[in-house]
Chain A
Amino acid sequence: MKTIIELNINDEVFEMVIEPRTTLLEVLREHLAFTGTKEACGTGECGACTVLIEGKPKLACLTLAAECANTRITTIEGLVHDGQLTPVQQAFLEKGAVQCGFCTPAMVLTATALLEENPNPTEYDIKKALEGNLCRCTGYNKIMEAIREAAKSGESARNRK
């Protein structure tokens, strides 16, 4: 039976008619065209569909939309403000952490959540945070570099304050 729910996505509220089995991924991609959230496996193995729910990385393909009522959902489309790339996005760009780009939105979101919670992550912290996100192009070397760089630029921004 279909139900009506409200979803808060990138600080905008959407009223949606969904079935109980509808996943958050389906709502984002098929119903609302937030196509920055990618589907590569649909079974929770690759991390390409990662979004932030209450600031924490979650797999949209394994999350029911109905569970997300009254939560704050952030997709890749919600990161940019006033056309400005975030430090994580900027670092991914400059350090060559992007190739085909299919895993990139999820990587960027996961790294953003990591640095939010832990502004000075160790190598292991970074690996631990990104262990669920597959990338086939980069070998992860430049993704590590980018996140280190983003942490560094975040630190210098804080020092300036």
Chain B
Amino acid sequence: MSELEYVGKSVPRKDGPEKVTGKALYTTDLRPPGMLTGCILRSPHPHAKILNIDVSRAKSAPGVKAVVTGQDTLGIKHAFVETPRYPPDQYPLAMDRVRYVGEEVAAVAASDLDAAEEALSLIRVDYEPLPAVFDPIEAMDPSAPEVHPNHPKIKESFHNIGGKTESAWGNVEEGFARSHIVMENRFESHLRTHGYLEPQVTLAAIEPNGKLNVWTSSQGPFIKRAKLARTLGLPESSVRVQKTYVGGAFGGKIDLFSHEYCAALLSMRTFRPVKITASREDIFCAYRHGQPLIVEVKTGVRKDGTLEAQQFRVINSCGAYRGSGVVVIFLSWGFAMLPYRVPNLRYEGYAVYTNNPIRCPQRGHGAPQMRFAIESQLDMIAEALNIDPVEIRLRNARHSQEQLPNGDNVHNCGLSDCIREAAGHTELKQKYGRGRAEGSTGRYKRGIGIGVSAYFGGSLIYPNSSSVVVKMNDDGTATVLTGALDIGQGAETILCQIVAEELKIPIDQVQVIAADTETTPVDIGSWISGNAYVTGNAARVAAGEVRKKLLELAAEALEANIGDLVVDEKSVYVTGSPESRLTYQQLLAAGVAKNRGDPVIGEGHWRTMRDEPAHPSLATTKGRWSENYAFDAQVAEVEVDTETGKVRLLRAVTAHDCGFPINPLLVQGQIDGQVSMALGHALMEEVVMENGQTLNPNWLEYRMPCIHNLAPSEHIDVITESFEVGRAYRTKEVGEGYVSAILAAIANAIYDAIGVRLYSTPFTPEKILRGLGKLK
């Protein structure tokens, strides 16, 4: 095996120079000639019938070029999930009813923002307000107003059930009966938002030949193209979604949004480019946030801490339309069964319609909420059994090659090493319990806690697979064509590293053309944690094909067997004779002569679980979920001010089985960012909603971590896989798995510091002081 030159190295990101110089163009920066500004009129009511919309005054207002309402659309519904069980439930513009404050009712295109906003104020909508419901438990009551009276729902004795996931194995009752102790708790999480800096923004421009060009701040162009084409009634080939830089997404920019549809429709009406930019207030009030879950968990364990049985009931308020609400209740099942062996498990999850804005994936997509519940309870169990928190986790951690109850295999699993490394590095066993033991005199108490989590890398959801084309240029450099969209995680950089390694071409001589539905092949998207594994392997296969062609040319030119050839520094030589090498440039010239001009191009394809027909059942969890699982253990050390109730995160250690890091610098960046996001989740951030209306729609009142809240973040790589040229690899995801265990670790560390167990996020001073008995 030759030494790796590019993979595994901390290479600075490819797009870095463009970004540090301000040259990188984001959707919000685009301004083609003749561009109009679009604006959207939103519902002020959480639930109402639309009786009439009068746009006549708006249409004749100065500068206004077009006004559209639901009546101007084809009335085709769409949704994040579109299956026979869960048919789409949302119009791109409301038709006869609005179901949340901020739902899109009409859109205007005008010469500038002032004219567009003026026109919005001239649209008259007559509403008949209807009773609304906001709390998922209340919404489940048979007396609650129905959010979707006529849309197919799940047959249940409860009301407003948008989706349900049920899964079970073993015999939970027998498991509980066998258990030494059984503990039952309820945990709740709260509403947070993604906090991407670049607003939601779309530019659409129709060409005279009917082609619709779209630039949109997103997480992958292919799903946008598919949904835009379908809702607009256009063939997919008439819609081209092109690359722009993306200013953060974190799960919030995957699905089709009304502003994307409206920009396209308005451009088709006016034959001019139309850009719609959401204001930050709109994003806080009307756009999609993450998903608070109510998690009821009952766990039975043997005397030695071995898990015997676990039962879950998870309730999700999915908002006025399904959004990803039915996905999160499926994934929550997965995050419950992944890291620990549970011989008997029963799970039921409900997605409940309410009159809140729609909910969407948010980094971790259910894992933080589930791991917070499970890991908190596990610490409670450990204490009751007088086992330390490290031992109880090691006892139940899955091992390499274990089969999951759904038939998946965890393959190489470094979880036990992660737990040992994280605990050992922080001296957790020595420190644990000290905070509570050290008397009650000091104002500041310190505590330490651990959490464990696991995450999948890639699953089968449209577009399912990735393809990559690598083409050699006559000067011996390479160009990569990929549908992958770099949203900041470094997708383009790692694909370059992989191609560079396979072909031994310096990274700066590998160019990338990316994320264009017209010119680049299909890609799984930057939203299912599959880029490094799925798209990366496709790039490897494509580069491998190029390598093979170059070797064939070299074998003939050097009159040698392919097996005796060495690829090195953009050239090929016969083993032992590096001095008589042929450069790629020479080989390509020879190839052109020999093959009558045929160039050297390779294509690669990769689909996770290649032989599986489709994604697992969201209803029953049956079917394969993934073939790639990452594991981690995270330790938090905190300081609690017992006077004010404020918590500080002093240290965060992440020990993770990421397979192997393709780019350690990028991996560290992902971990630091996730720890920071979890810190915000734990201690700072909350979208406060009352009757479906956001009360804190800005960053002054929704407090994201600033540089003063920097969390000291340390990383330990547990390597379980490797990269070899010419061989398939299984590296694991690092983009969203590390927001979860650290959240639980913070909760457990707070308990360790002051003996207060928190059952809901965020961990506010008020809850701490209540727990300490200092607030009534």
**Interface residues in chain A, defined as those with a beta carbon under 8 Å from any beta carbon in chain B:** 29-30, 33-43, 45-46, 48, 75-77, 79-80, 85, 89, 92-94, 96, 98-105, 108, 126-127, 130-144
Q: List, sorted by A's number, 26 A–B pairs whose CB atoms are closer than 8 Å.
A: A30-B31, A36-B22, A37-B22, A40-B280, A41-B699, A42-B280, A85-B21, A92-B16, A92-B20, A93-B16, A98-B13, A98-B20, A101-B18, A101-B247, A105-B22, A108-B20, A127-B708, A131-B708, A134-B704, A136-B195, A136-B248, A137-B248, A137-B488, A138-B669, A140-B705, A142-B672
Across the interface, which residues of A come within 8 angstroms of B665, CB to CB? 96
Across the interface, which residues of A come within 8 angstroms of B707, CB to CB? 126-127, 130-131, 133, 135, 140, 143-144
Contact A101 B28 (CB under 8 A): no
Contact B710 A127 (CB under 8 A): yes
Contact A136 B20 (CB under 8 A): no
Q: Is B593 an interface residue (CB 8 A)?
A: no
A128: shortest Cβ distance to chain B, in Å?
Answer: 9
Contact B708 A137 (CB under 8 A): no
Across the interface, which residues of B come within 8 angstroms of A131, CB to CB? 706-708
Q: Is B676 an interface residue (CB 8 A)?
A: yes
A10: shortest Cβ distance to chain B, in Å?
Answer: 11
Interface bracket on B: 35 or more
* A97 CA / B484 CA spacing, docked (Å): 22
Given the known A-B contacts A36-B21, A38-B198, are A100 and B247 also in contact in the complex, defined by CB atoms under 8 Å? yes
* A130 CA / B707 CA spacing, docked (Å): 7
Contact B676 A140 (CB under 8 A): yes
Q: Could you tell me the dominant secondary structure of chain B's interface residues?
A: loop
* A77 CA / B673 CA spacing, docked (Å): 27
Given the known A-B contacts A93-B12, A139-B711, A142-B669, are A41 and B20 also in contact in the complex, defined by CB atoms under 8 Å? no
Contact A100 B197 (CB under 8 A): yes
Residue of B nearest to A141 (CB): B672
Interface centre among B29, B675, B677, B713, by most chain A C-beta atoms within 10 angstroms, is B29
Contact A134 B197 (CB under 8 A): yes
Q: Is B196 an interface residue (CB 8 A)?
A: yes
A89 touches which of B20, B245, B668, B699 (Cβ 8 Å): B20
Across the interface, which residues of B come within 8 angstroms of A98, CB to CB? 13, 16, 19-20
Other than A42-B279, A144-B707, give 10 A-B pairs with Cβ distance below 8 A: A41-B699, A43-B280, A96-B666, A98-B19, A102-B247, A127-B710, A133-B707, A136-B250, A141-B672, A143-B707
Q: Is B166 an interface residue (CB 8 A)?
A: no
* A61 CA / B672 CA spacing, docked (Å): 29
Interface string of B7-27 (1 = CB under 8 A from A): 000101101111111111110
Contact B280 A41 (CB under 8 A): yes
Across the interface, which residues of A come within 8 angstroms of B585, CB to CB? none
Contact B488 A99 (CB under 8 A): yes
Contact A48 B197 (CB under 8 A): yes
B654: shortest Cβ distance to chain A, in Å?
Answer: 11
B711: shortest Cβ distance to chain A, in Å?
Answer: 6
Across the interface, which residues of B come within 8 angstroms of A80, CB to CB? 21
Interface string of B478-504 (1 = CB under 8 A from A): 000000000111100000000000000
* A131 CA / B28 CA spacing, docked (Å): 25
Contact B704 A136 (CB under 8 A): yes
Across the interface, which residues of A come within 8 angstroms of B24, CB to CB? 101
Across the interface, which residues of A come within 8 angstroms of B17, CB to CB? 85, 93
Contact A142 B668 (CB under 8 A): yes
Q: Is B700 an interface residue (CB 8 A)?
A: yes
Across the interface, which residues of B come within 8 angstroms of A39, CB to CB? 28, 199
Across the interface, which residues of B come within 8 angstroms of A140, CB to CB? 672, 676, 705-707, 710
Interface string of B189-202 (1 = CB under 8 A from A): 00000111111000
Across the interface, which residues of A come within 8 angstroms of B706, CB to CB? 131-134, 140
Across the interface, which residues of B come within 8 angstroms of A76, CB to CB? 21-22
Q: Is B698 an interface residue (CB 8 A)?
A: yes
Given the known A-B contacts A40-B280, A43-B698, A79-B21, are A138 and B197 also in contact in the complex, defined by CB atoms under 8 Å? no
Given the known A-B contacts A76-B21, A93-B17, are A100 and B700 also in contact in the complex, defined by CB atoms under 8 Å? no
B740: shortest Cβ distance to chain A, in Å?
Answer: 16
Contact B711 A104 (CB under 8 A): no
Q: Is B246 an interface residue (CB 8 A)?
A: yes
Given the known A-B contacts A101-B15, A139-B711, are A96 and B669 also in contact in the complex, defined by CB atoms under 8 Å? yes
